[in-house]
Amino acid sequence: MLTIMDRMFAFLGASLAGLAVAAGAFGAHALRNRFTPAELEMFETAVRYQMYHALALLVTAAILARWPGQAARAAGWLFVSGTLVFSGTLYLIVLTGSGSLGAVTPVGGLALLAGWLALAAAVAHPR
């Protein structure tokens, strides 16, 4: 039986994946002639990491259903926050030209790394 937390992470994962597809299409078509290759590459990196971690959220929901616990819940929230900060700041840097946000991007990356460590702990030591 799925809990509210399992369903929330599955919902967020599916939503972020759909938004990644939309952002990728937007970047490939609407932004192609407006930004430099380096800016487009940064946008694509944001899309790619958003999709990876949207899928990670779906996996996290499945792991929570099998092995509920603090580590799996922490992994889910770290994936959500890390994706919003990492990909979000990259999107904003490209779309606004504000390079000052680049200092925040690594914080999102650290949250994503911590999410993977928490997910590994959830599987290695359930409960």
Contact 14, 58 (CB under 8 A): yes
Contact 54, 76 (CB under 8 A): no
Q: Is the pLDDT of residue 55 over 90?
A: yes
**Distance from C-alpha of 123 to C-alpha of 71, rounded to nearest angstrom:** 9
Q: Is the pLDDT of residue 118 over 90?
A: yes
Contact 111, 85 (CB under 8 A): yes
CA distances from 64 to 1, 7, 34, 92, 116 (A): 11, 10, 43, 32, 14
Q: Under DSSP, is residue 82 helix (H, G, I), strand (E, B) or coil?
A: helix
> At 99, is the pLDDT very low, low, confident or very high (cuts 50, 70, 90)?
confident
Domain boundaries, given as residue ranges, for the chain:
4-124
> At 95, is the pLDDT very low, low, confident or very high (cuts 50, 70, 90)?
very high
Closest CA to 88 of 74, 105, 75: 105
Read off the pTM. Answer: 0.94
pLDDT tens readout for residues 16-28? 999 999 999 999 9
Residue 118: CB partners within 8 Å, gap ≥ 6? 71, 72, 74, 75, 78
